Structure 1
Amino acid sequence: MISVLVVDDQPLVRQAVRDILSDSGGIQVVREASNGREAVRAAAEAAADVVVMDIRMPEMDGIAATSEIIAGPSARTPRVLILTTFEEDEYIVAALRAGASGFIGKGAEPEDIVRAVRTIHSGESLLSPIATRALIERFVEPLPLASVWEDRSLSRLTEREREVLVLVARGLTNQEIAASLVISPHTAKTHVNRIMTKVDARDRAHLVILAYESGLVSAGL
């Protein structure tokens, strides 16, 4: 059973998400919160597997709440799925930087929301490669190269791992990476997991942002 915390300042949205998830089977909404501060407290108390998080809320927004939840002392850190509207592109990137594992629009079909929660829970990022790349190209500025490489241990990556990181940033799946580099899918997955460990990234979303910030991948390439 996947336990979920639903966070939104609109009661009707919380009700809709709760009903969709509760009717899906295998998912249980264990808590709700109406703002970011409540969300941080509820995440610690309820030990939810997934937090479905709105961005714009009173007292504390979803970005700050996501950051606090991910950095929390609990050994069981939930994964965060951002509920968003098309007007919040810049905030989506900020939320991914804060530790969110993906995003989905509030106008999504019920089955898409259920699938999103299950995807996040399984440890995968919920990213549309095209949409995510477009967002990052608009809102992520490359940082000083030396700073990124030192702070995120990019210098520890092997040449092959850097190749894999570039392909991840371009939206390729493990299967596609394997085909591009003429390696097995298992080897591709192993490379991705090692990269995450070396640069302290939670999932592919953060690898994509890191690749752009470091200059390994440039806008339009």
Structure 2
Amino acid sequence: MQDTISIFLVAGNRLLREALGKIISKQVDFRVCGVSPCLESATGSIASSATQVLILDSVSIQRPDCALLAEVSREVLCAKVLLIDMSDDPEIFLKCVRAGALGYLLKDASSADVVAAVRAVAQAQAVCPPQLCKLLFQIVSQQWAARPIVRMKVKFNLTRRQRQLVPLISQGLTNKEIASQLNLSEQTIKNHIHRIFRRVGAKDRLQVVDLTRHLDTSANSPDSGFLRLGSQILV
């Protein structure tokens, strides 16, 4: 016999709320322990109902910062959050993930998708569309690639400009060549390089290269560790 999954349904869209209620009622292992059109007014009921899966629609979390969702996720730790009828906007998706959502279904999700997602989320498994899952992989990949430059920043406390200069020094470029490439004066480059010497404890350029070699300073983007889509830095 399957264990019963207790579900609290919050949907601002009445038609969607009724449709979801019918879908849930057809599953012998699902039990609705509460229904509400508003998340803010339902937080107390959710906390006292031993809810396992909290289903929310896009209307109920329409605040762009997802602050209420984050608050509920913190206060009702036993409830796993499944968002439905959602946008495929990457920024909205990432905000919801940060706020504590474990499942994320788009507007075109079928009733079978909802049922499968409820069961998965109840087992603490993450659920999201393939195209958004790919986004998470990209973020992890970029964060991993950014680790060397982050380590260099922490280890030597170099400024952004100084971190940018290290790989150019490693390439054997002269002050004049670096200045031309970065559109700065040669004296400015010279000053930066002397500060780099002091911060890494080097006597010359060769020592700078040697001391930073294991950190792989090839990544010098100011947004290292973040995913940029268009003009938006998402994570």
Q: TM-score, normalised by structure 2?
A: 0.53
- Find the residue that maps to 1:134 and give its secondary structure: helix
Q: Which residue of 2 aligns with 1:126?
A: 127
Q: Secondary structure of 2:66's match?
A: helix
CA distance in 2, matches of 1:65, 1:93: 15
1-structure distance, mates of 2:31, 2:64: 24
**What is the CA RMSD across the aligned residues, in angstroms?**
3.5
Q: Which residue of 2 aligns with 1:50?
A: 53
Deviation at 1:129, TM superposition (A): 4.4
| Residue in 1 that maps onto 2:118 | 117
| Residue in 1 that maps onto 2:69 | 66
Partner of 2:99: 98
- Structure 1 residue runs of 5 or longer lacking an equivalent are 150-212
Shift of 1:78: 0.5
Aligned partner (choices 3, 24, 28) of residue 25 of structure 1: 28
Query: Structure 1 residue 80: deviation in Å?
Result: 0.3
- The one-character-per-residue Cα deviations of 1:116-168 (angstroms, maximum 9, x if unpaired) are 00000011111344323337869xx979947xx9xxxxxxxxxxxxxxxxxxx
Q: Would the alpha carbon gap of residues 97 and 218 (structure 1) be closer, same or farther in structure 2, given more than 3 Å must change? A: closer
Q: Is the 8 A contact 1:55 1:63 kept in 2?
A: no
> Does residue 19 of structure 2 align to residue 16 of structure 1?
yes
C-alpha separation in 1, matches of 2:61 and 2:128: 27
Give the fraction of aligned pairs with identical amino acids, expressed as a percent: 23
| Structure 2 unaligned residues grouped into runs of 5+ | 155-222, 230-235
Query: CA 1:87–1:103 in 2, change beyond 3 Å: closer, same or farther?
Result: closer
Change (3 A) 1:90 1:218: closer
What is the TM-score when the length of structure 1 is the normalising length?
0.56
Q: Which has the larger radius of gyration?
A: 2
Provide the secondary structure at the position in 1 that maps to 2:116: helix
Residue 10 of structure 2 aligns with an amino acid whose one-letter code is V
Provide, for residues 46-101 of structure 1, a one-character-per-residue CA deviation record: whole Å limited to 9, x for no partner: 221001112333896792332112211x5x52000111333654222111100110
Three-state SS of the structure 2 residue aligned to 1:5 is strand
Q: 1:218 to 1:64 in 2, by over 3 A?
A: closer
Deviations 1:5-51 (A, max 9, x none): 11111111111111101102200111112122023223112221001
1:166-221 deviations in Å (ceiling 9; x for gaps): xxxxxxxxxxxxxxxxxxxxxxxxxxxxxxxxxxxxxxxxxxxxxxx983x9679x
The structure-2 alpha-carbon separation of the partners of 1:33 and 1:63, relative to structure 1 and needing over 3 Å to count, comes to: farther
* SS in structure 2 at match of 1:104: strand
- Kindly state the Cα deviation for residue 102 of structure 1 after the two structures are TM-superposed: 1.8
The answer on whether the counterparts of 1:8 and 1:53 sit within 8 Å (CA) in structure 2 is yes
Distance in 1 separating the partners of 2:137 and 2:42: 26
